[in-house]
Chain A
């Protein structure tokens, strides 16, 4: 979203359509409209972080879901990175 990234727990004002509302044909145009400057990308990361933070961690009665999702994503990420070496430990050659 092209909205400013200075808020952390305020609702972010939307000026363009969200990804879910974009039709499939409009997707390339929508992607090109995005802000790809370093500031824009940093803003996107910041927004994403605060979205996750405010939804799962910054609550009164949080649960294990907040960190477990992060750890699971980390596990998956590392597995994908080391898949190349793991390929050699397969039990069968042909699947």
Chain B
């Protein structure tokens, strides 16, 4: 099984005994050559991926959890399987009779020699049994409490992790729900923009009106001014020519006529009192 597949190629045939032990450190290479390039011609730069991993069937069975109680033991020394083994042939009391017989046999044939140590052994074992019987339960409870604390801690960590992930899921869901409500935001924005457009339009409209009115006012005022100027000019011109047309002689005659008229009036006037 060493030479046929070639170095670096894990053997897929599990039934060829002496299987490579992947879990034991250093066991991956025991029994094979030292790791080397599969194809030395190519050189070490080229990636030589010729190892095939995971060729064994994956173990799909769930990991058995730690059993609650250990194997049953009678007298603290002998597993119950032994009693089961003897039960068909000898019944319930068989193993006890066997034990008694063996003890008596070893004592009588002095396979077990009674010395001074026997008594110390008896007292030691007696003391041990007494202690175990008296305090065994409480020590067991104490140990159980310790292990329960450990398990509770781990459980806490697990629950905290689950809670965290649940919170993350909820947050994600709520954010996804928010996405559905985006259209409100867009509506508001659209309304705002429409109002701004309207505002600008009206503002510009007003401005246009003002500018046009401005220009029209200008033309009107120009016209008015022209007319006024023409009027004044005409009046001045007429006055000037009229004044010019009054010759000197005409002026004297006019003044004499005025004085005569005044004298006439003065004659009529003294009949009325002076106010």
Contacts and interface: CB of A to CB of B under 8 A. Distances in A.
B77 interface: yes
B113 A55 contact: no
B68 interface: yes
Interface in A57-92: 57-66, 68-69, 72, 79, 86-87, 89-92
Contact of B70 (A2, A57, A91): A57
Contact of A61 (B15, B63, B69, B79): B69
Nearest to B76: A68
B17 A2 contact: yes
B120 to A, nearest CB: 13
Interface in B63-87: 63-64, 66-71, 73, 76-77, 79
A17 interface: no
A29 B84 CA distance: 28
B108 A95 contact: yes
Contacts of A64: 76, 132, 136
Contact of B113 (A59, A65, A68, A87): A87
A59 B77 CA distance: 17
Interface string B76-113: 11010000000000000000000000000000111011
B70 A63 contact: yes
B24 to A, nearest CB: 6
A9 B64 contact: yes
Range of interface residues on chain B?
Answer: 35 or more
> Chain B binding site: helix, strand, loop or mixed by DSSP?
loop
Given A64-B136, A65-B77, A91 B114 contact: yes
Nearest to A95: B109
B89 to A, nearest CB: 15
A90 B113 contact: yes
Contacts of B179: none
B77 A10 contact: no
Given A11-B64, A59-B68, A6 B76 contact: no
Given A6-B22, A37-B18, A60-B67, A68 B144 contact: no
A58 B66 contact: yes
16 contacts: A6-B21, A6-B23, A9-B63, A37-B18, A56-B71, A59-B67, A59-B68, A59-B70, A60-B66, A64-B136, A65-B70, A65-B73, A65-B76, A65-B77, A68-B76, A89-B113
Given A15-B15, A55-B70, A65-B70, A86 B115 contact: yes
Interface string B54-70: 00000101011011111
Contact of B110 (A2, A35, A55, A95): A95
Given A6-B23, A59-B66, A63-B70, 15 more contacts: A5-B24, A6-B24, A10-B59, A39-B18, A59-B69, A61-B144, A63-B73, A63-B76, A68-B76, A69-B76, A69-B77, A72-B77, A86-B115, A90-B113, A91-B114
